[in-house]
Amino acid sequence: MDEMEVIGNQKEKPDSTRPTFFIHTFGCQMNESDSEHIAGLLTSYGWQKGNCPEESNLVIINTCAVRAKSVDKFFSLLGRLKEIKKKRGFKIAVVGCVAQLEGEELFKLQPHIDYVIGPDNYLELPKIIDHKEKITSTTWSGHWREHPYSLIRRESQVSAYVPIMEGCNNFCTYCIVPFVRGREKYRPARFILEEIKALADRGFLEVQLLGQSITSYRDPESNQSLADLLRQVAQINNLKWIRFITSHPKNLTREIAQAMAEEKKICRQLHLPVQAGSNSILKRMNRGYTREEYLEKIAMLKELMPEISLSTDIIVGFPGESEKDFEDTLRLLEEVRFTNIFSFRYSPRPLTAASQWPDDVPFEVKRRRLIELQSLQKKIQLEINANFAGRIIDVLCLGRSQKTPHLYCGRNEAHQVVNFSSSLEVTNKMVKVKITSFGPYSLHGEIVPESI
């Protein structure tokens, strides 16, 4: 998803008597959340989190396999670590989706890797890293494995990721996720509610419920749906904002939209990946909806919540995508007017159905389409953001902006980045900000001092 550069936790000086680990995380929010679980687990075994590979005994790389580019980034990091490892002698653990995909093959490709651990095996990590010899652990369990949430070492003290399901049964023809995260497994609602209550008691103001196909969620114990769960989460005291990601359009129900409309704590913001605007492409992507059905869902959301902020994912250059198909995607962006999009050039992935088809849209065409798409979207975002000028909005402040440290940085209900000035320290607070200017990708403003 999009990146907001916030200065995170203060760096601590490592204690020389304790073993130190360093984690580098690629990929989605689920991976970020997994890294927080791993960090907490290792901390409970006496390890401490270091600030760089050089000062660590163990370097963990949490990998993403979704596009060739994500895998390339991982291998280039490994290349750099190889040189540092020669001097420092740390162990390297590769975890996450590339670990699951490649398994033992990784040792052959890169002999300086020590451990390979898939997403369903993190609980074994403290045991595995005790071993001198190389170890692979990539077995799947068919049911949800509850991690002790009290151990999680979270990056933010105000906004928390809460996984509620894992895996995906949708098998979009381009996507590797079902092969690296397995079939859908749902977390019992009582654990989810218990964790969120504990977070709210500790002062967390926002939770982001996570799952690769979150709209399929069913409580394995009561069979209640995502809509029911959202309503229960909304009853938790002291919590301000609830978000959930990622929804699949085909099972985004009216009940979910109604829960969003009726429960004030559920943000009127939804990420609803469309992928393409052409019916023939959607069909070959195996998305399970047509352009018209997608637009009906959007109309339903806008009818219940006229002010809703929508975002999406788009792939350009899928096999067989013609200029006409691409035009359909551009027209869809104009029609929906998303607040934000994440757009990618199609990249064939191992094990997927589409990887058997010719990758027949030339790179230059993919590149041109991506630029065209992004420049149309930029224009739409500028228009949307112009409506914020002069308004006073709620912002959850997440820290200081990394690029401009004299400014604070946060998100509004629409999940847009808001940079603002304040003479008072407001990190981790919900504040009111008056918007004074805007760009296509962020809003800028100043704090309303009475709101603190």
**How would you classify the pairing of strands 442-447 and 430-438?**
antiparallel
How far apart are alpha carbons 377 and 329 in whole angstroms? 11
Stretch that binds ligand F3S, among 25-33, 36-44, 309-317, 435-443 (CB under 6 A): 25-33
| Sequence-ordered strand ranges (E) for 346-401 | 392-400
Name the residue nearer to ligand F3S (CB basis): 167 or 317.
167
**Rounded least distance, CB 284 to ligand SF4, Å:** 13
Q: CB 160: neighbour CB atoms within 10 A? A: 25
What does residue 449 show for φ and ψ, rounded to 5 degrees? -55, -35
The mark string for 275-314 relative to ligand SAH (x by CB under 6 A, - otherwise) is: x-------------------------------------x-
Residue 230 CA, distance from chain mean position: 19
What does residue 142 show for φ and ψ, rounded to 5 degrees? -80, -10
Name the residue nearer to ligand SAH (CB basis): 90 or 122.
122
Count of residues engaged in binding ligand SAH, rule: CB under 6 A: 17
Decide if residue 33 touches ligand SAH (CB under 6 A). Answer: no
Cβ neighbors of 274 (< 8 A, separation 6 or more) are 249, 294, 312, 313, 314, 332, 336
**Rounded least distance, CB 425 to ligand SF4, Å:** 39
Q: CB 380: neighbour CB atoms within 10 A? A: 18
The correct pick among 107, 174, 204, 294 for binding ligand SAH (CB under 6 A) is: 174
Stretch that binds ligand F3S, among 28-36, 267-275, 279-287, 380-388 (CB under 6 A): 28-36
How far apart are alpha carbons 137 and 123 in whole angstroms? 11
Stretch that binds ligand SAH, among 2-10, 86-94, 146-154, 340-348 (CB under 6 A): 340-348
Residue 2 CA, distance from chain mean position: 8
How far apart are alpha carbons 83 and 42 in whole angstroms? 25
**Rounded least distance, CB 420 to ligand F3S, Å:** 31
In single-letter form, the type of residue at position 74 comes to: F
Decide if residue 377 touches ligand SAH (CB under 6 A). Answer: no
Q: Which tokens is 186 given?
A: 């749902």
Name the residue nearer to ligand SAH (CB basis): 187 or 240.
187
Q: At what angle do helices 226-233 and 254-262 cross, to 10 degrees?
A: 10
Pick one of ligand SF4, ligand SAH, ligand F3S, none as the site partner of residue 182 (Cβ within 5 to 8 A by kind): none
Decide if residue 181 touches ligand F3S (CB under 6 A). Answer: yes
How far apart are alpha carbons 361 and 358 in whole angstroms? 9
Which parts of this chain interact with ligand SF4 (CB under 6 A)?
A: 168, 170-172, 175, 177-178, 212-213, 248
**Rounded least distance, CB 442 to ligand F3S, Å:** 24
Please, which of residues 41-100 interact with ligand F3S by CB under 6 A? 64-66, 96-97
How far apart are alpha carbons 421 and 441 in whole angstroms? 18
Decide if residue 30 touches ligand F3S (CB under 6 A). Answer: yes
How far apart are alpha carbons 444 and 452 in whole angstroms? 18
In single-letter form, the type of residue at position 313 comes to: D
The correct pick among 21, 23, 31, 246 for binding ligand F3S (CB under 6 A) is: 31
**Rounded least distance, CB 117 to ligand F3S, Å:** 14
Name the residue nearer to ligand SF4 (CB basis): 175 or 196.
175
Q: CB 342: neighbour CB atoms within 10 A? A: 14
Pick one of ligand SAH, ligand F3S, ligand SF4, none as the site partner of residue 27 (Cβ within 5 to 8 A by kind): ligand F3S
**Rounded least distance, CB 211 to ligand F3S, Å:** 10
What does residue 122 show for φ and ψ, rounded to 5 degrees? -65, -30
Interface positions with ligand SAH (CB under 6 A) = 28, 66-67, 174-175, 177, 212-213, 246, 273, 275, 313, 315, 344, 346-347, 349
Interface positions with ligand F3S (CB under 6 A) = 27-28, 30-31, 64-66, 96-97, 177, 180-181
